Amino acid sequence: MKFLKLTRLGNLVFMAVCLGIIRYAFFKPINATTTLSDFQYTLFTISILCLGAAGYIINDLYDIETDKINKPEKNYIGKGISEKSGFNLFLVLNIIGVGIGFYLANAISQPAFSALFIISSALLYIYSAYLKNIILFGNIAVSLLVASIAVLPGIFDLLPAINSYNQTQQAAVFSILLDYSFFAFFINLLREMVKDQEDIKGDYNTDGNTLPIILGCKRTNLIIFALGLIPLIVLIYYIYTYLFENTPAVLYTLFLIVAPVLFFLVQILSAKQKKDFSRLSKILKIVLFFGLISIGFQQFILN
């Protein structure tokens, strides 16, 4: 059970659901031309989940001292799971993830695509070991990895199937994936910055170099607020441009995505305590969830 908690099983399930929705509630219903078979797409999903789980493990391995302060109740390394066991599991999951990626890339005659899995694996390690100690770089790196969940299916499943007959449709579908990727990047970037606020005590005591430590809580809140306006403005533009004639889609986006983002922006300006930032982090996680699963509704908008 502790190994499942170490790999953030809930987050992995969310990733699997998103990948399943992209394939079976978006690509298939609109008859997009795909490359991977159902079995290969299952392997593709397993590969991403393995790399994601490995990323959570290596992050905990490098955050042992910080987590003792920030979240002692969720510090699994050293409490039933040794550092050696954790690192071995990290290696095994990486080998499986990259190995499957290498197989799939060659199976679809795109061997260069295997580099995406290698880069993702390396970035997860570099983030935990180095980048998280560089102001904002760590936040951006992990947000790019989250954003890749929306776009990787397009790279592996859509791009190799493009031909002169379906080029327009494939490009349109891939463009939608990029929109969702942009959304996931910004929402997760905000969440990572909020988590820095939440974890400031542990980061400070372990010589962390986060934005709240450098600028202070109030200034960081203002920066988060300013950045939060970007996805809000884009969402409003998206509703007006693409969803306006689809009432259910408009209501879904307004109540489950836009409204929580507005609430977040109002609350972030006055947030001071750890519990405030913890609540706001959960709100952004909910926004990310409802935002990404809404890709399954694109079949009704496009048709």
pLDDT value, residue 69: 74
**Cα 121–chain centre separation:** 14
pLDDT value, residue 205: 78
- Residue owning tokens 């490098």: 62
126 phi, psi to nearest 5 deg: -65, -40
pLDDT value, residue 63: 76
Spell out the per-residue pLDDT of the chain, length 303, in tens.
666 777 888 999 999 999 999 999 999 999 999 999 999 999 999 999 999 999 888 888 877 777 777 776 667 776 777 888 888 999 999 999 999 999 999 999 999 999 999 999 998 888 877 877 778 888 898 899 999 999 999 999 999 999 989 999 999 999 999 999 999 999 999 999 999 999 888 777 777 788 999 999 999 999 999 999 999 999 999 998 888 888 888 999 999 999 999 999 999 999 999 999 999 999 999 999 999 999 988 877 766
Task: List the structure tokens of 241.
Answer: 């441009």
pLDDT value, residue 78: 67
- Say what the alpha-carbon torsion angle 244, 247, 248, 254 is, to the nearest 10 degrees: 60
> Is this model's pTM higher than 0.85 or not?
yes
pLDDT value, residue 72: 67
SS3 state at 273: coil
